[in-house]
Amino acid sequence: MNKKLFFVIGALLSAAVLFAQDAGQQIDVQAIIRASRDRISADTVSTRSRMVITAKNGTTTERVIDQYSKDGPKGDRVIIVFQSPKSVAGTRFLTMENPGSPDDRWIFLPELGKVRRIAASEGSGSFMGTDLSYDDISSATRSADLDTHTLLREENFNGTPSYVIQSVPKDGGYQYSKMIQWIDKDTKVNHKIELYDKKAALVKTLETLRLKEVQGRLTPMSTKMTTIAAGTSTTINVDIIKYDDAIPEGVFTVNYLETGRAR
């Protein structure tokens, strides 16, 4: 099973296949994207991370989150639990893949004391005041049938030979008009993504800042989402990550969102 971390947002796929010539060899663009998305395989993923939110004036705030991911009957399920600071502690967010339809998403806010469902129309909204939107978080489980991919060119990215691939959503309701990805030819790591709005203006960039071998898997340990016009960014630093640890089924339920206890 392939487990996608929410901060590795670059796995935005397509059902289309484009072939190009490279030293006499054919390049299957869909295969490149799939290899990038599926390169980390695990039954479960458990992490503790620090989200560093940087304002335009350079001041920062930090949030500590736990995340648990596990495959389910319909696809991936991810829950995020805010541990600190006190102003957000106890906030819990659940997203469940729903093939053929938008992901199901709910959030529990302690100050309200109840669970609220996140509508598909709210996908572009900021997730807890960060530079990530709800769609950004769910993009790791975005269906392969929703985008069309084109190989733009091949070039070095920070000295690493990479494919540059453009992804265009087939659904006009998606918040981005296109995404451009730099994927390492060798490791298939997604080094950078540019995200464009409906007017084809660059609005965000996502960068992989640090990688580390964990349990035999080359894992992004630090990623940064930048909002261009606002001059703000959110960097997610992974402090602890464990693959294939047992996670109770009860964690991926609305009841867990309400109570913080798995039944």
CA angle 10, 41, 192 (to 5 degrees): 20
User: Domain spans of the chain?
Assistant: 19-256
Per-residue pLDDT of the chain (263 residues; tens, 9 = 90+): 444 443 333 332 222 333 333 433 467 888 888 788 888 989 999 999 999 999 999 999 999 999 999 988 888 899 999 999 999 999 999 999 877 777 899 999 999 999 999 988 888 889 999 999 988 887 665 655 677 889 999 999 999 999 999 989 887 778 899 999 999 999 999 999 999 999 999 999 999 999 999 999 999 999 999 999 999 999 999 999 999 999 999 999 999 999 999 87
Was domain 19-256 assigned CATH 2.50.20.10?
yes
pLDDT of residue 11: 34
Q: CA 136 to CA 47: how far, in whole Å?
A: 18
pLDDT given for residue 13 in this prediction: 26
Q: How far apart are CA 151 and CA 159, in angstroms?
A: 19
Tokens of 34: 């799939």
